[in-house]
Structure 1
Amino acid sequence: MIILPAIDIKDGNCVRLFKGDYSTVEKVCDTPYKAAEQFKAAGAQYMHMVDLDGAKDATLANADLIIDVAKQSGLKVEVGGGIRDMAAIERYLNNGIDKVILGSAAVKNPDFVIEAVKAFGDKIVVGIDAKNGMVCAEGWIDESEINYIELAKRMEDIGVGQIVFTDIDQDGTLAGPNLKQLDDLVHEVNCRVVASGGVSVLKDIINLAELDVYGAICGKAIYTGNLDLKQAIKITSKI
């Protein structure tokens, strides 16, 4: 299982939210560059970055900053937030980003996902963010009537190979990941599942590894010091 430390960017700052609520924004590091540098020093090979402004406003608000942070870090970076057309995908992939995450588009414009997968293959990841099992879009503001497993199956059918699943109720809470929903998802689809939301301590990482998920995204727990990133990477490299 791989570990993906996370950088969420709002107004150019490295921040965290509580349960996806933009009113709870909290700056957690001096700069995104410093956070990425610390991740690399801990042994990370991958990084997860989200443009929170872009996710809410359907723009690439922080794209230049994200591309530069990724380039300076030397890590393999996946990016989500505001990616709504092929030009946005190309902008990231042509500038060194390893994978792009399509979230709202998977709900509202599945034809775009089909087009993207045909053009870019495994560079396309779908982010499924759910509240009470139902998928949310537009920066988690817009709740749909689609169950997260149903959407995952639809995405797998069109060729998506990797899904990032977030339980919004767990995100930023340090209350542990939703193991039940993740276990159900892993058993319902064959694509790789990356868990996001709620990771607090090393035990959470071990629990996720036992579910056979492909990866775990860790954010707030690293910044608070609850989770030792270096130790988490070392342990998962042996699982």
Structure 2
Amino acid sequence: MFPAFEVIPAVDIQDGQAVQLVGGERGTETTYGDPERAARRWIDAGAETIHCVDLDGAFDGERKNEAAIQAIVDTPATVQVGGGIRSPEAAISLLNSGVDRVILGTLAVEEPTVVETISEQYPDGVLVSVDARDGAVVVEGWTERTEIDPATAASRYESLGAAGILFTDVDVEGQLEGVRTEPVERVASAVDIPVIASGGVSTLEDIEALSKTTAGAVVVGTALYERAFTLQAAIEATHYRE
């Protein structure tokens, strides 16, 4: 999936607009305009993959930004989509519409065998979102804590056919205070499938640190939108990993 470590820009969508949240908390969003325009900006700057989350779907369980997502799917990039995918039918519908990878969160926690069902039809199409706060998996838009260990969860989903794991360290997400490589490495070392790290990137040094783990990619949101660094500089910071 990732022959070289990849920097993946996030285009999170709420009420039809590209936004970034702080710590995954609703009401903390900063708005950055049209989602398709944001995606094309990152593609023009060198992005190969766009990470797209329907935040309305993540919080409310009902996807409301299909048109904006489809516009991004129609760009030249690989597109992975999450947020509000609450049934295998919804996941397969997205994959049939041109989405390259769906991101399953709450659904995978509540019905793990769904991962296997969808993966049988789309072997490279399922990423499972393992979101952790205080060392435990959280679901329902990061609002509900479970007692599940993130590394254990990742290993289980690998056995069910997941093509990769999206690991979000919610404790540092959106705060521009830096990453924690230890939780990322713990999850990445537990599986043989790619792990995409997410949460806390604020500097090029953060990206370089994550690229030194066994993770395959990193999702970057707020730091790019707030121009802490350019996407090109972020990509260049990982070149030694190729």
Q: Structure 2 length as normaliser, TM-score?
A: 0.94
Secondary structure (helix, strand or coil) at the match of 2:175 reads coil
**Distance in structure 2 (CA, Å) of the matches to 1:51 and 1:85:** 15
Q: What are the within-5 Å matches in structure 2 for residues 63-82 of structure 1?
A: 63-71=66-74, 73-82=75-84
**Distance in structure 2 (CA, Å) of the matches to 1:103 and 1:89:** 11
Q: Does residue 19 of the first structure (1) align with residue 20 of the second (2)?
A: no
Percent of aligned positions that are identical = 37
Secondary structure (helix, strand or coil) at the match of 1:173 reads coil
**Distance in structure 1 (CA, Å) of the matches to 2:36 and 2:163:** 29
CA contact (8 A) 1:209 1:236 kept: yes
Q: What are the within-5 Å matches in structure 2 for residues 107-122 of structure 1?
A: 107-122=109-124
**Cross-structure match for 2:9:** 5
Q: Does residue 55 of the first structure (1) align with residue 58 of the second (2)?
A: yes
CA contact (8 A) 2:115 2:161 kept: no
Give CA-to-partner distance per residue, 1:66-89, whole Å, 9 cap, x none. Answer: 011221x32111000011222212
**Cross-structure match for 2:209:** 207
Q: CA deviation at 1:100?
A: 0.5
**Cross-structure match for 1:42:** 45
**Distance in structure 2 (CA, Å) of the matches to 1:21 and 1:140:** 8
CA contact (8 A) 1:16 1:220 kept: yes
CA contact (8 A) 1:126 1:163 kept: yes
Moved more, 209-218 or 227-236: 227-236
Q: How many residues align?
A: 237
- Which one has a larger percent helix, Structure 1 or Structure 2? 1
* Unpaired segments ≥5 residues, structure 1: none
Give CA-to-partner distance per residue, 1:75-124, whole Å, 9 cap, x none. Answer: 11100001122221222112221110001112111122221122211111
Secondary structure (helix, strand or coil) at the match of 1:146 reads coil
CA contact (8 A) 1:2 1:237 kept: no
**Cross-structure match for 2:181:** 179
Moved over 4 A (4+): none
Amino acid at match of 1:7: V
**Cross-structure match for 1:232:** 234
Q: CA deviation at 1:161?
A: 2.5
Quickly say closer, same or farther: Cα 1:87–1:117, change in 2 above 3 A.
Answer: same
**Distance in structure 1 (CA, Å) of the matches to 2:116 and 2:224:** 35
CA contact (8 A) 1:60 1:88 kept: no
Q: CA deviation at 1:60?
A: 2.0
Match of 1:163 among 165, 172, 175: 165
**Distance in structure 2 (CA, Å) of the matches to 1:227 and 1:91:** 36
* Unpaired segments ≥5 residues, structure 2: none
Q: What are the within-5 Å matches in structure 2 for residues 117-132 of structure 1?
A: 117-132=119-134
**Distance in structure 2 (CA, Å) of the matches to 1:159 and 1:90:** 15
Q: Structure 1 length as normaliser, TM-score?
A: 0.95
CA contact (8 A) 1:167 1:196 kept: yes
